[in-house]
Structure 1
Amino acid sequence: MPSTKKVVVIGGSYAGVAAAMRLNTALGLQENVDLTLITKEDHFQHNLGSFRALVEPSFAEKLFIPYSKIFTSTNGKIVQGTVIAIHPNNVVLAGGSNVPFDYLIIATGSSYPSRRTPLSSPSKSSKDTRTEGIAELQEIATAIKEAKSVLVVGGGPVGIEIAGEVATDYPEKKVTLVHASTTLMNGPYSDKFKARLLSTLQQRKVNVVLGERVEGLQSFFPDPTHKGWHLGATSVKTNTGREITAEVILLATGNSSFNSHLVRSLSEDLIDARGQLKVRPTFQLDNDAFPHIFAAGDVTNADNKLAYLAKPQAEIAADNIAKLIKSGPDANLATYKPSTSVFAVVAIGRSGGVAQILGVWGDWVVKMLKSKDLFVKRYWAELGLAKEFPQ
């Protein structure tokens, strides 16, 4: 009788969930295969929609989706815990327990300023339970509702979406967005797209300050990966001497680190200069010693850090593991080709935003694609819970 193959996925966000569900489809009914998803939380958080909860507290309940239908077969299970080390054939959890594996997918993502709060990146809560995560979002929403002025630091997609959301729902508030670059949205986006973002924010009465950096943030955020919001009337200055007063300051300054440190016990050479895991086009770690260990999503050096790219990456990794289990080490593995096109859909309030999809599009297209419900129904359905979606 063949030995049981143990497949483990670390991480319960976009890439990890996509990998686990693909493995369930490919291997869930196969005998002698055990599937395990290890995650710190008891829920999947739809981070892409978290900024809506900053102005609509009840929306928070739609963002935290149970993992109950990830595995539909008896050979799959979810382990809630924190991985503290990865070894060639087992992972170690906080508390000392070991989880053995024959194949592993690392989908640990990245950390952002405000890992404790939902205000960066696209809005990640550090709370390990759904109840705590909802309460945290609603607490911040109350503070924003009571404030007369809000400062958003960072002009990437998250900062733009937060500023646009607050300005749209609270037009009487003074909303300021400060971005260190001279244009919004760092990256390979068109000048037309960036200009349209700026004009749309300004139409929503957001005061956009470009090419300046807020100084002294360390005093408000001594550990921004723990807490990325500040409440209470205060005044800050930019590097040009501009003074900005605000009652709420929200950090939205992007990735601060990639959660790749767990592989140091395997090899330091697996981590590149940016802190990303080096992977091959098959999503195997870029080291001949570990053909059974894969990685996908933000933690890798494979592509841009976008949620919609995490799913195809994770599915290729899962498919390749299924091929190795079924056909052995000589299996013909699938490879990933990074997209040569640049797409972005940035919501600026409920009624629209700006998209770059084979051209630049405005409010009508973005409302149809994203801003109306921010994909929440889609993700409840993808996790097998369409009927349980909270109305």
Structure 2
Amino acid sequence: MMASPHVERGFNMFCSSLRRIPAFCSSTSRSTSILPFSRGSFQISSCITRPAPSHPLPSLTSPQGELLIRKMATHTPAARTAANPFKVFIAGGCYSGLAAAINLLEQCDKSTENPIPVAITIADERDGYFHLIGSPLALADKQYAEKNWVEFKDVKILQRPDVQFVHGSVTKIDPATKTATIREHENQHERTESYDFCISAAGYRRVWPVVPQALTRKTYLIEVNRHIDAVTNSQYPVLVVGGGAVGIEMAAELKTVQPNVNVTLAHSRAKLLSAEPLPDMVKDEALELTRAAGVECLMEHRLTRSTPIKDAADQDAYEVEFENGHKMTASVVVMAISKSVPSSGFLPKEALSEDGLVNVLPTLQLSNNDIPNAESHFAIGDMINWSGIKRCGSAMHQGKYAGLNIHQLMQRELVDKEVKFNEISEVPPMIGLAVGKVAVSYGPDDGMKSGPQVMQYFFENDLGFRICWDHLRLGGSPA
């Protein structure tokens, strides 16, 4: 009976590996041992002297023999070196993607004598880290806008030879071949990256002015400065449409930074935060704090049209009309109604929910086992189909767990270590909302809290920029 081709290859690789170890043997100590399986009368010269086995030896073509050779073939030739590192591809360079990269590198570097060689590629449409939470303040304060976008070349902890950034859009992930296709920003050329592990961390595609649409820091500053000039020089109120978290924060930050500007917030429902699964007391507190910040709030005002006009002084303005018949003139209309969609189009449809969110296991691996190599593919952050309000804290936590779990899979390959995955839990509704100089928070354990002390705890004075920057250790020295 002939051995199967993969068994033959495993046998040959094992024999080849033994031929590479004569330095461990002296000419006088070399002896001949029978391998612990039989292939006719095959024998091999070995530097290990051992007593003859007292039990029957399995045949090479038996299931036990094939299993033994598979183990030998798997572990002998698969050494990972600087020339053959684990390749990790990360689609997205914000909270979750950077958390995954940094925590994985930390684990791989832990053993100074035998670090795990890894090569990480991070692809992002932007050329830098944009602090998404700070977007409302960046659209009101030019000085703050300068620091809210940090080019990846200035993220110190990731300036190391085993990390590369690609400025471009991920267009396809092929789990079967383990390749990613990226359209580069500079020349629109497509390139492919092979990988051993893939992490999808691309978040949501959000519209202007919820987030800037610029893809470089230079054009971002032009974009936000133009917006800030428009709202600062307004003759009429600045109308913010949409009373979700983004609309509340945009209206309140603008009024706080530019107190001379009249700011109006219009919402179609009777309560703010109407789309969130939060108690009414939180929504009522958000309304009270927004009004206390100096923002006029128009509840149950659904926008029907916004028409550009020239006023009597030949200045640009908007004639605005609501469904209830109310009309007003606004200098600027800011649409803060969320039309965000997951940035998941590069993944196979089989990985997605009906809403385009990525279905994952608690280990953050793709949950559909029909997808090839699903175990090697992770998704994290806003784009996953998981419970809870989308928050940066959850995104960073998931990024950490994805990095730790990939490290577990690496160890399994290298030393046959039993995998102990970290698993995320279901997330109950919770929120931290900045409203000018104060904030309101809600969680199942602490209930609702509000005031300046809550603002300091959750956001400090920069909408959480320092907190997130330091938590991710982005300014730290590279290992």
Matched, 1:301 2:396: no
| 1:200 corresponds to | 289
Aligned partner letter, 2:475: L
Aligned partner letter, 1:103: F
| 2:19 corresponds to | none
Aligned partner letter, 1:206: V
Within-5 A mapping of 1:258-273:
258-264=342-348, 268-273=349-354
Aligned partner letter, 1:107: A
| 1:53 corresponds to | 138
Distance 1:100 1:283 in 2: 21
Shift of 1:232: 3.5
SS in 2 for 1:80: strand
Q: Deviations over 1:94-132 (max 9, x none)?
A: 122110011000001001221xxxx31xxx222222222
Matched, 1:278 2:345: no
Within-5 A mapping of 1:353-364:
353-357=439-443, 358-364=446-452
Shift of 1:332: 2.5
| 2:223 corresponds to | 136
Matched, 1:63 2:155: no
Distance 1:125 1:170 in 2: 20
SS in 2 for 1:152: strand
| 1:158 corresponds to | 246
Aligned partner letter, 1:233: A
Is the contact made by 1:353 and 1:371 (CA closer than 8 Å) also made in structure 2?
no
| 2:406 corresponds to | 321
Larger radius of gyration: 2
Query: Per the alignment, do residues 13 and 39 of structure 1 end up closer, same or farther by CA in structure 2, a change over 3 Å counting?
Result: same
Distance 2:130 2:473 in 1: 11
TM-score, normalised via structure 1 length: 0.87
| 2:424 corresponds to | 336
SS in 2 for 1:81: strand
Shift of 1:250: 0.8
What is the aligned counterpart of 2:199 among 105, 115, 119?
105
Query: Per the alignment, do residues 249 and 5 of structure 1 end up closer, same or farther by CA in structure 2, a change over 3 Å counting?
Result: same
Aligned partner letter, 1:376: F
Is the contact made by 2:91 and 2:200 (CA closer than 8 Å) also made in structure 1?
yes
SS in 2 for 1:263: coil
Within-5 A mapping of 1:364-379:
364-369=452-457, 370=459, 372-379=461-468
| 1:79 corresponds to | 166
Please, which moves more after superposition, 297-306 or 316-325? 297-306
Distance 2:171 2:395 in 1: 23
Shift of 1:309: 0.9
Aligned partner letter, 1:356: Y
| 1:190 corresponds to | 279
Is the contact made by 1:296 and 1:310 (CA closer than 8 Å) also made in structure 2?
yes
Q: Deviations over 1:243-271 (max 9, x none)?
A: 1321111111124211111113xxx2221
Is the contact made by 2:351 and 2:368 (CA closer than 8 Å) also made in structure 1?
yes
- RMSD between aligned residues: 2.2
Q: Deviations over 1:41-85 (max 9, x none)?
A: 221011211222333211111101232324254322222222111
Distance 1:28 1:38 in 2: 22
Distance 2:337 2:355 in 1: 16
Aligned partner letter, 1:385: G
| 2:213 corresponds to | 126
| 2:86 corresponds to | 5
| 1:384 corresponds to | 474
Query: Per the alignment, do residues 255 and 283 of structure 1 end up closer, same or farther by CA in structure 2, a change over 3 Å counting?
Result: farther
SS in 2 for 1:262: coil
Query: Per the alignment, do residues 368 and 386 of structure 1 end up closer, same or farther by CA in structure 2, a change over 3 Å counting?
Result: farther
Larger RCO, structure (CA 8 Å, separation 6 or more)? 1
Distance 2:325 2:346 in 1: 42
Aligned partner letter, 2:285: R
SS in 2 for 1:125: coil
Q: How many residues align?
A: 364
Is the contact made by 1:164 and 1:201 (CA closer than 8 Å) also made in structure 2?
yes
Distance 1:22 1:195 in 2: 39
Q: Which runs of 5+ in 1 are unaligned?
A: 221-230
Within-5 A mapping of 1:86-97:
86-88=173-175, 89-94=178-183, 95-97=189-191
Distance 1:44 1:73 in 2: 17
What is the aligned counterpart of 2:396 among 311, 333, 355?
311
Q: Which runs of 5+ in 2 are unaligned?
A: 1-78, 184-188, 309-314
Aligned partner letter, 1:177: L
Query: Per the alignment, do residues 24 and 66 of structure 1 end up closer, same or farther by CA in structure 2, a change over 3 Å counting?
Result: farther
Distance 2:120 2:181 in 1: 17
